[in-house]
Amino acid sequence: MSKIVIELVRSPVGYKYDQKQTVKALGLKKLHDRVVKQDNPQIRGMINKIRHLVKVEELRKEEE
């Protein structure tokens, strides 16, 4: 499976509780934190919920 890099680019302060919990569940704590996750439907659903707060990039094979 491919991997994706998720970066928190906006603060979840002022947004709904479930969106804050989604950011936390992805492992993002501070602005500009980056995490690498497997690209699967569950992670894509989480990203879709907070798409206004994050930036997503595909991880190329050389970077793995």
Q: Specify the pTM.
A: 0.89
Domain segments of the chain: what residues? 3-63
- Level-2 CATH architecture, domain 3-63: 2-Layer Sandwich (3.30)
The pLDDT assigned to 56 comes to 97
The pLDDT assigned to 63 comes to 59
Structure tokens at 61: 């094979």
Determine contact, residues 59/51, Cβ cutoff 8 Å.
no
At 9-50, the pLDDT tens digits run 999 999 999 999 999 999 999 999 999 999 999 999 999 999
The pLDDT assigned to 62 comes to 65
CA atoms of 36 and 58, how far apart (whole Å): 9
Strand order in the sheet with 34-38: 34-38, 3-8, 54-58
Query: Is pLDDT at 8 greater than 80 in this prediction?
Result: yes
